[in-house]
Amino acid sequence: MPIRRGRRRRADSRYAAQAALLAGQLRERRESAGITQERLASLAGVGIATVRKIETGLVVEPGYFTVMALMGVLGISPDDLALQGTVS
């Protein structure tokens, strides 16, 4: 069995539902703010591929600091994302 490295990216993660919710909410907030994925990535100091993968749900367990940086640029708090109550 190969050794897994990095974050889990598949839908078999127990966090798949939260990842889908996060993806939709981040995209919605970014679009309503009129910011492109490229601009958001630049302002947050992350790669454009990272933003794309989070928004499409390819990354099911994004890094805490990455998510916090994206939310900081968009001016939203964790409570604003309404993720509470979805942890199983």
Q: Please report which confidence band the pLDDT of residue 10 belongs to, taking 50, 70 and 90 as the band edges.
A: low
Say whether pLDDT at 28 is over 80.
yes
Return the amino acid letter for 85: G
Angle at 60 between CA 2 and CA 82, to 5 degrees: 155
Contact between residue 24 and residue 86 where contact means Cβ atoms under 8 Å apart = no
> For residue 68, what is the enclosing H or E element?
helix 64-74
**Domain locations in the chain?**
16-75
pTM (2 d.p.): 0.76
Say whether pLDDT at 2 is over 80.
no
Say whether pLDDT at 88 is over 50.
no
Dump pLDDT digits (tens) for 32-83: 999 999 999 999 999 999 999 999 988 888 899 999 999 999 998 878 766 5
CATH superfamily of 16-75: lambda repressor-like DNA-binding domains (1.10.260.40)
Please return the burial class of 35, using the count of CB atoms within 10 Å of its CB with bins 0-12, 13-18 and 19+: middle
- How many contiguous H segments (helices) and E segments (strands) does the chain have? 4, 0
Contact between residue 41 and residue 51 where contact means Cβ atoms under 8 Å apart = yes
Tell me which of 70 and 21 has the higher pLDDT.
70
